[in-house]
């Protein structure tokens, strides 16, 4: 999910409400002894660094970091936070933090997408947070298990979730109703494609959008291709052998799905080849009704198509409907993807890991978290935030929390960034007509062998 345009939102929380939440956090890792707490009153503050990116997240952090500093000072543990801001594009931000990790001068706390964890853990860049979360009651009592599992690599916890997300298909209910097209849940890919063909035939509009192409980057995998793969009967990773599966029936079926969308002109192609390829189809065509079905997520109700979103759709709660992702053959139940979105991490070379974890605990408490979730339009990873303002002002999003216990997801492994890039390459080869499905699979497998290493890949 990329923040494409700045948007202003009302500020709902009062400083008084926050102070109570903040003071409660002060008795964490640092506050293991009340005598030590009292002794430190008036002590010189420790300074830690916090790095994030995307405009809305930066604005939210600027509201809450001063409150954290006041809360910690009041609790006898003065901590100053140097808020650092990274470049907005995902690729640029990842390059920046990779360089800083390698140079041993990374910020203490860095927030980014959960899918980046495995490569950074493999490189030794992240602190194992298992000893910290094991002493934090919230970790086992407040967080949804599917989310905490995604924060683990190799059986150890390396992150704390900032938010959760659910992915599904959004459709223009108003258009389907107007043309007497069924809004029933598609059970298989064939059902979905038949529905798309009917849309094209009756309306003349673009029917279906699945992210594709190198310009969309990791979003091709994260928001589209992964949800196709989850509907197949194939794996992407052989856990026992610790190898990526680069040829399978499921991979070929996914590429064939893209080939069908392209050949039958069910999906707009040219916008996907532009920089920021999501802007035209998601923020112009879908709101205008020129595109009828699109991949999206729980955040889309607010971040994409809500009143303050990047492409507002008037009366979006009545106009839009959602389907779960169908399976390839209809033999399994339609499903949603469920998992963590952005997460907090602590650098392995942090000189103040305890203080850094205090910041993470503070920012993930219900009041700060509710403001962040409302700002971004995300689902809470905790079970105690649904009644907290302003998050409780998002009924469509709050009501989906229960799906976190039922959704599917793929774990991430070392080499995830390359895997996602090669998926994007292969889909671009299809949508530009340079390759059919089989040729795209061959291209993908070849790139995986070269980039991931022949010893780290297998076929099924």
Boundary-marking domain end, from 365, 382, 405: 405
Specify whether the CB–CB gap between 158 and 345 falls below 8 A. yes
> Quick one: how many helices (H) and strands (E) in the chain?
21, 15
Specify whether the CB–CB gap between 278 and 4 falls below 8 A. yes
Instruction: Tell me the CATH number at 198.
Output: 3.40.190.10
> Do 332 and 344 sit in the same domain of this protein?
no
> Do 230 and 261 sit in the same domain of this protein?
yes
> Do 87 and 134 sit in the same domain of this protein?
yes
Determine, yes or no, domain membership for 1.
Answer: no
Determine, yes or no, domain membership for 449.
Answer: yes
Buried b (16+ CB within 10 A) or exposed e, 329-350: eeebebbbbbbbbbbbbbbbbb
Give, as one character, the DSSP assignment of residue 43: P
Q: Over 80: is that where the pLDDT of 2 sits? A: no
Residue 9: count of CB within 10 angstroms of its CB: 18
Determine, yes or no, domain membership for 5.
Answer: no
> Do 383 and 325 sit in the same domain of this protein?
no
Boundary-marking domain end, from 371, 389, 405: 405
Report how many domains make up the chain: 2
> Do 207 and 295 sit in the same domain of this protein?
yes
> Do 348 and 433 sit in the same domain of this protein?
no
Q: Over 60: is that where the pLDDT of 177 sits? A: yes
> Do 107 and 228 sit in the same domain of this protein?
no
> Do 215 and 325 sit in the same domain of this protein?
yes
Q: pLDDT tens, 355-370?
A: 999 999 999 999 999 9
Q: pLDDT tens, 73-108?
A: 999 999 999 999 999 888 899 999 999 999 999 999
Q: Nearest Cα to 75, choosing from 46, 131, 112, 37?
A: 37
Helix, strand, or coil here: 48?
A: strand
> Do 323 and 390 sit in the same domain of this protein?
no
Cis peptide before 307 (omega within 30 of 0): no
> Do 156 and 248 sit in the same domain of this protein?
no
Structural domain range at position 308: 166-336+412-459
Mean pLDDT of the chain: 90
The encoded tokens of residue 333 equal 């139940």
Determine, yes or no, domain membership for 347.
Answer: yes
> Structure pTM?
0.81
Boundary-marking domain end, from 374, 390, 405: 405
Determine, yes or no, domain membership for 8.
Answer: no
Q: pLDDT tens, 112-134?
A: 999 899 999 999 999 999 999 99
> Do 26 and 119 sit in the same domain of this protein?
yes
> Do 289 and 159 sit in the same domain of this protein?
no
Determine, yes or no, domain membership for 4.
Answer: no
Determine, yes or no, domain membership for 3.
Answer: no
Determine, yes or no, domain membership for 156.
Answer: yes
The DSSP annotation for 302-336 comes to TTTTSTTSSS--TTHHHHEEEEPBPBSSSSS--B-
Specify whether the CB–CB gap between 155 and 128 falls below 8 A. no
């Amino acid at each position: 999910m990329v923040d494409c345009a700045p948007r202003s939102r009302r500020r709902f929380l009062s400083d008084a409400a926050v102070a109570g939440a903040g003071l409660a956090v002060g008795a964490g890792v640092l506050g293991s002894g009340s005598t030590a707490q009292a002794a430190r009153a008036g002590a010189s503050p420790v300074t830690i660094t916090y790095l994030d990116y995307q405009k809305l997240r930066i604005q939210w952090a600027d509201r809450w970091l001063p409150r954290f500093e006041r809360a910690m000072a009041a609790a006898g543990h003065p901590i100053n936070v140097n808020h650092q801001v990274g470049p907005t594009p995902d690729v640029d931000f990842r390059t920046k933090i990779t360089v800083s990790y390698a140079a041993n001068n990374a910020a203490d706390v860095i927030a980014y997408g959960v899918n980046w964890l495995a490569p950074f853990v493999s490189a030794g860049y992240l602190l194992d947070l298992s000893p910290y979360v094991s002493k934090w009651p919230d970790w086992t009592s407040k967080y949804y298990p599917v989310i905490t599992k995604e924060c683990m690599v190799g059986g150890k916890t390396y992150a704390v979730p900032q938010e959760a997300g659910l992915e599904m298909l959004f459709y223009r209910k108003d258009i389907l109703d107007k043309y007497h097209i069924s809004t029933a849940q598609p059970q298989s890919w064939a059902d979905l494609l038949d529905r798309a063909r009917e849309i094209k035939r009756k309306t003349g509009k673009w029917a279906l959008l699945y992210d594709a192409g190198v310009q969309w980057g990791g979003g091709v995998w994260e928001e589209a291709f992964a949800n196709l793969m989850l509907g197949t009967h194939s794996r992407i990773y052989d856990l026992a052998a610790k190898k990526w599966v680069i040829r399978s029936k499921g991979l070929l079926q996914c590429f064939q799905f893209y080939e069908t969308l392209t050949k039958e002109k069910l999906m707009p192609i040219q916008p996907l080849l532009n920089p920021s390829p999501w802007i035209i189809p998601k923020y112009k065509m879908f709101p205008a009704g020129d595109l009828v079905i699109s991949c999206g997520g729980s955040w889309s109700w607010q971040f994409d198509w809500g009143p303050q979103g990047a492409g507002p759709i008037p009366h979006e709660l009545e106009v839009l409907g959602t389907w779960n992702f169908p399976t390839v053959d209809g033999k399994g139940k339609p499903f949603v993807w469920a998992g963590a979105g952005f997460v907090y991490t602590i650098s392995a070379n942090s000189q103040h890991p305890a203080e850094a974890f205090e910041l993470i605990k503070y920012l993930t408490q219900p009041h700060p978290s509710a403001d962040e979730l409302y700002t971004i339009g995300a689902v809470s990873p905790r079970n105690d935030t649904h009644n907290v303002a302003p998050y409780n002002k998002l009924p469509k999003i709050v009501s989906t929390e229960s799906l976190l216990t039922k959704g599917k997801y793929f774990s991430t492994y070392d080499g995830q960034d390359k895997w996602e890039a090669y998926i994007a390459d292969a889909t671009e080869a299809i949508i530009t007509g340079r390759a059919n499905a089989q040729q795209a699979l061959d291209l993908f497998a070849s790139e995986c062998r070269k980039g991931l290493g022949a010893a780290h890949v297998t076929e099924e």
